[in-house]
Structure 1
Amino acid sequence: GVADTWATVSADSHKHGVAFFLDFFAAHPNYQDFFPKLEGKSGSALKGDPNMQAQADAVMAAIGQCVAAGGDKGALAGPLGALAKTHLPRGIKSAYFKDAFDSFVAYLGKSGVSTDGWPAAIDTIMEVLTAELKKHGGS
């Protein structure tokens, strides 16, 4: 399940976070525009960029918080509400988060890690995140 998969991934979360972002930007190059410090970078320049590495670590930490909540919508509301507040000013919408989460699950599968339980977990996360975005004036 999700907790077991996360235990495997989080053991080397930095490596997985960077690899996920490289895959995500390859699949959705337009989303890299939301990261001004990463503009125009690709390949090894992107992989080694300290801003990219910091973003990857932050995203993996946020996913870890969601996993720790164990599907409890009340427990998810705090960290996802904070995420909504920081991302709304940048024009980030729920559909963009959904693309990122779907890309993360695809990355897990590509990495040979079980995706069992992840689609349902992502649905729960997206339900709470979308509500938090709307609460703060987003979509």
Structure 2
Amino acid sequence: PLRPGIQQCNPQVNTSVSTARYSKEMGNPPELTEERKTAVRASWDLVRKNMRQNGADFYLHFFKTFPVYKDLFKDFKDTPLEEVAKHPKLKAHGLRAFYAIASMVDSLDDLEIAAQIMRKTVDDHFPRGIRTLQFTHVFGVLLDFLSIKLESNFDERTREGWEATTAILMQVTEARMKELEQTAE
């Protein structure tokens, strides 16, 4: 079962945000070439310089894009976004999430390691009612956030690299979700 509030989320809330998913209609994601891996790593190195603040800023951007998700965090439920911005647990959660992303970025040359990290992340979130749609939203907002935060450093090659990376991670997410949902039945 989904946590209260999740089923209310409309996946079309912000269509300007990439969904980080590729369907037959959209075509295939860009290939994760060495050049694109290098661009992803270089862009993440810029984020890594201040992971604590960037992680918090990401979650604020996420909550502005999809306000319904803020209330899924018990510490932030019914709290104005201005107060959430000052909450120490916002930085802590952002930092944990960004360390997981950093580990996956650091593992782009061994995608099985990145996949294991993603599977563990899915396993941790599944009992909380988080499903594929929510991961799709997170990755879409991540791409949007990076394009805003990195400005000119988020060029076409970097965008394609992140699109390829998130598409791979979403494939892992979808496969693991199917396994967990079958086990839960």
TM-score by length of 2: 0.70
Corresponding residue for residue 130 of structure 1: 174
Amino acid corresponding to residue 165 of structure 2 in structure 1: A
**Structure with more contact order per residue of length (Cα contacts < 8 Å, sep ≥ 6):** 2
Corresponding residue for residue 67 of structure 2: 29
Give yes or no for contact 1:80–1:132 (8 Å, CA) kept in 2: no
Structure 1's unaligned 5+ residue stretches are none
Corresponding residue for residue 164 of structure 2: 120
> Which segment is superposed worse, 69-78 or 103-112?
69-78
TM-aligned CA deviation for residue 71 of structure 1: 6.0
Corresponding residue for residue 90 of structure 2: 52
Q: Distance in 2 between matches of 1:42 and 1:62?
A: 27
> Which segment is superposed worse, 105-114 or 68-77?
68-77
> What does the per-residue CA deviation read over 1:75-114, in whole Å, with 9 as the maximum and x for residues that have no partner?
1232112111111111101111111111011011111141
Q: Distance in 2 between matches of 1:136 and 1:71?
A: 27
Corresponding residue for residue 141 of structure 2: 103
Q: Distance in 2 between matches of 1:63 and 1:100?
A: 12
Give yes or no for contact 1:66–1:125 (8 Å, CA) kept in 2: no
Corresponding residue for residue 10 of structure 2: none
TM-aligned CA deviation for residue 127 of structure 1: 0.8
Query: Which one has the bigger helix percentage?
Result: 1
Q: Distance in 1 between matches of 2:69 and 2:109?
A: 27
Give yes or no for contact 1:23–1:107 (8 Å, CA) kept in 2: yes
Corresponding residue for residue 41 of structure 1: 79
TM-aligned CA deviation for residue 131 of structure 1: 1.3
The one of 81, 85, 92 equivalent to 2:123 is: 85
Q: Distance in 1 between matches of 2:106 and 2:177?
A: 21
Corresponding residue for residue 28 of structure 2: none
The share of aligned pairs that are identical, in percent, is: 25
> Which segment is superposed worse, 20-29 or 71-80?
71-80
SS in 2 for 1:37: coil
